[in-house]
Chains A and B, each alone.
Chain A
């Protein structure tokens, strides 16, 4: 199995955006909002990420169809949450160590 963390920024934010059921366009908007417009996912990037994460079992399809409009919704799985938690731990360590920079030189 290939190394799965650190997550790419795209995977990280997509996982975060499907903590509750969300569809493709909704994910793009949420990520854009969370990053204040810094990360705007292109359709190719998002499609590839969804395919990869579905195959790895990090996310799954939540609902396929809603009456007339076909709109797939995705939601994070338990495995996805585990991966995200590991990444969060790693990021926390980075941030904690980053504080040392303020302690000055010795």
Chain B
């Protein structure tokens, strides 16, 4: 493995930033300070982190309703993310998108998405664009196991494979499409098996092992950059929380949850780093403190930011037309 200590620490930092962001988001939501829905990424941090550690700012990602982790791993700013969750003018989307629609074109983040499976085809378009413009950009399409039953999954993988597009399809198999266990929503255990139908590599990795995810993604990203086409990577993982905050999770038993909590990706990376003398416990503690301070600062920024003026509701629909306001 060619991972430098610096890279490992960077990945730890990313995973921990996601974990702390999501933990705070859960608290704020429970306190009624964040409106709408939130779908948290806690437990799945190794996937976004291991994949995005292979990407450049100019590369693209498409994300999902459970998108905070992807945005953070692709370099999103926690201040603007929290501000968006709070519906403030300073948020990534000026308060018009909320949790499910955070995007940052400057970092190639083509948006979280509220429609399950909608990102697949957009990722193909971004991949086509990269190839058309003759750049070495790639696009990573993140999605869950549930979305692999949408027609868009088939359309997109087919199109990406016939045109050999630089797209990496990353399935976060967290075992459930909302309440429906994978065994009830598809007759296969490995989503990666479906890659055969598109004549592309299908890889299964332990999605709670950030090093394994990093390696698999590296190979796929290299293939994509070299013009060898798309890859389907399936990361076996688990969401610690419900589908959304407030989900009573009656559909899964405590034993299963306990078993997966043992496989928490963050302590696993910490153990690896300590065992291999990458960092000391003191250094980890220092990183954690820095992240806690960053989160605190980001929430302060969000809460102190103004709400958008109501007239902003009619702006940004078109580049050149502002709709009429209520008279």
Q: Does chain A bind chain B?
A: no
